[in-house]
Chains A and B, each alone.
Chain A
């Protein structure tokens, strides 16, 4: 079965510290993609970072980096130098293939709160 698991329902982090949000996945597809999205209280889904299953290097986008460990089937998000504006829900997601199309399935999310 294809599944995304986020085991941290909530996290509190001091401003300017780095934070790691955990994500593990399960799929039998050899080709897949992993995403992280941020959802602030306004509800919009903001794309943060993408990692393809065949990518040799871990993805990085500014303060965001994805710690991709394929053998462990984990794709943790690392946010460096956290800011108050980083407080939001964070969803790990995986693109899975079915028929001739693909779809994205989401984990349950982690609520990150940054303390000043």
Chain B
């Protein structure tokens, strides 16, 4: 299957700092990328959908000013957690698809905010 990478795989930061997570589709062009959040022992919750070159669509209850998403190219989307706090600690997973094809998931990024 297609390969999606995420960087970093884990990050620890101090409260109040911003953290950027990258999601790349390595062997296909991703017209749409998705960002999910997963708390321990829970399911994946969709945060936002990003289409290349346009503004992201956020799910209800997700603060767009806190979780900044940029999808600058067909192979890269970034999620920036601004002014991170301990409650933002979670597992963040991105996925990518090409024109409604199967979504392929990245390996995830574990964020710990101290």
Contacts and interface: CB of A to CB of B under 8 A. Distances in A.
Contact of B46 (A37, A42, A105): A105
A45 B34 CA distance: 13
Interface residues of A, number: 20
A72 interface: no
Interface residues of B, number: 24
A47 B105 contact: yes
B103 interface: yes
A47 B93 CA distance: 14
A47 B104 contact: yes
Nearest to B10: A43
A45 B46 CA distance: 14
B91 A106 contact: no
A109 B41 CA distance: 9
Interface string B23-51: 00000000010100010001111100101
A104 B34 contact: yes
- Binding site secondary structure of chain A: strand
A106 B59 CA distance: 14
Interface in A60-116: 91, 99, 101-109
B85 interface: no
B100 A102 contact: yes
Contacts of A47: 1, 102-105
Given A45-B95, A101-B49, A101-B57, A106 B43 contact: yes
Interface of B: 1, 32, 34, 38, 42-46, 49, 51, 57, 91, 93, 95, 100, 102-108, 110
Interface of A: 35, 37, 42-47, 50, 91, 99, 101-109
